[in-house]
Amino acid sequence: MITIPNTLFVIKGDWDTEPDPPNSIVIYLAPVDHRFVYGFGWNPSTQGMLQAMVREGVKDKVVLDVGTGTGILAIAAAKMGVKKVYAVETSKDALSYAQDMAKLNGVEIEFGYPDHADVVLANLGDAKFIEEHDLSFAATIIATVPEHSDVVGRAVLLGLSMRTDVVGEGEQRLTVLTLRRP
Domain count of the fold of the chain: 1
**Residue 158 falls inside a structural domain:** yes
Mean pLDDT of 159-180: 73
Q: What is the DSSP letter of 71?
A: S
**Residue 136 falls inside a structural domain:** yes
pLDDT, tens only, 118-154 = 899 988 766 666 666 666 667 787 777 766 566 666 6
**Contact 46/30 with Cβ under 8 angstroms?**
no
pLDDT, tens only, 47-91 = 888 999 998 899 999 999 988 989 999 999 999 999 999 999 988
**Contact 66/122 with Cβ under 8 angstroms?**
yes
Range of the domain at 175: 37-180
**Residue 17 falls inside a structural domain:** no
**Residue 30 falls inside a structural domain:** no
**Residue 1 falls inside a structural domain:** no
Residue 103: which CATH number? 3.40.50.150
Ramachandran sector of residue 26 (left: φ over 0; alpha: ψ -120 to 50; beta: rest): beta
**Residue 8 falls inside a structural domain:** no
**Residue 2 falls inside a structural domain:** no
Whether pTM > 0.75 for this model: the answer is yes
